[in-house]
């Protein structure tokens, strides 16, 4: 697909950010053309980076996790698990991230949130080149050690 549009700016109708540099023979190769980064790409990066932090049990508020658990059991329906609990706004050169997380019982929540914030900012900025202006974190729940793990498969009756 060829795009001859040379204007910069956020294109809200496509949900993508347009990063454009100087063009011409004197410009370095990495600046000859335009790179667009979809909101979903930033959301996946942020979701993966948040999950890497020790003390994060899962992402997503209660109902989103419940629907996600059901959706993951349906064949072909589990593709949204990485971005569950992640909302992003991507602009021309900046991004903002909102996360809903569940933490493990006993971990210092402020430290976990700080670790998540640092990891998400580092990953998004490193992989996309966008400046992350804010990472808002809502801690929606605490996972208790005696709670049944949703990810554990049930044992079948037949062996």
Q: What is the reported pLDDT for 24? A: 66
Residue 124 belongs to some domain of the structure: yes
Top-confidence range, 16-25, 73-82, 128-137: 128-137
**63 or 114: which carries more pLDDT confidence?**
114
Q: Report the number of distinct structural domains present in the chain.
A: 1
What range does the domain containing 65 cover?
38-143
Q: What is the reported pLDDT for 27? A: 77
Q: What is the reported pLDDT for 6? A: 44
Give me the half-sphere count of Cα atoms (radius 13 Å) on the Cβ side of residue 31: 8
Mark residue 85 as left, alpha or beta (left: phi above 0; alpha: psi -120 to 50; beta: remaining). left
pLDDT tens-place string over residues 43-72: 999 999 999 999 999 999 765 445 555 555
Residue 158 belongs to some domain of the structure: no
Q: Domain with 112 in it: what CATH number?
A: 3.30.70.1350
Mean pLDDT across the chain, nearest whole number?
80
Residue 2 belongs to some domain of the structure: no
Residue 10 belongs to some domain of the structure: no
* Cut 0.85: pTM above it: no
**30 or 116: which carries more pLDDT confidence?**
116
Distance CA 152, CA 133 (A): 37
pLDDT tens-place string over residues 78-89: 556 889 999 999
Distance CA 56, CA 28 (A): 41
Q: What is the reported pLDDT for 7? A: 44
Q: Determine the average pLDDT of the residues in 107-123.
A: 98
**60 or 33: which carries more pLDDT confidence?**
60
Non-local (6+) Cβ contacts of 68 within 8 A are 60, 78, 80, 81, 84
**151 or 100: which carries more pLDDT confidence?**
100
Residue 99 belongs to some domain of the structure: yes
**pLDDT exceeding 90 applies to what percent of the chain?**
53
**141 or 149: which carries more pLDDT confidence?**
141
Residue 29 belongs to some domain of the structure: no
Asked if 90 and 131 touch (Cβ cutoff 8 Å), the reply is: no
Residue 8 belongs to some domain of the structure: no
């Amino acid at each position: 697909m060829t795009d001859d549009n040379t204007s910069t700016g956020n294109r809200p109708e496509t949900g993508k950010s347009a990063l454009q540099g100087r063009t011409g023979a004197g410009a370095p190769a990495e600046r000859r053309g335009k790179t667009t980064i979809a909101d979903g790409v930033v959301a996946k990066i942020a979701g993966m980076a948040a999950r890497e932090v020790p003390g994060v049990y899962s992402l997503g508020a209660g109902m989103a996790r419940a629907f996600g658990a059901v959706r993951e059991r349906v064949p072909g329906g589990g593709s949204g698990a990485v971005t569950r609990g992640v909302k992003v706004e991507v602009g021309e050169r900046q991004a903002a991230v909102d996360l809903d997380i569940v933490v493990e019982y006993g971990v210092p929540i402020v430290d976990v949130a700080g670790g998540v914030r640092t990891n998400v900012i580092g990953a998004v900025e490193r992989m996309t080149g966008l400046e992350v202006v804010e990472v808002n974190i809502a801690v929606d729940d605490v996972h208790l050690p005696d709670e049944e793990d949703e990810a554990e498969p049930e044992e079948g009756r037949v062996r």
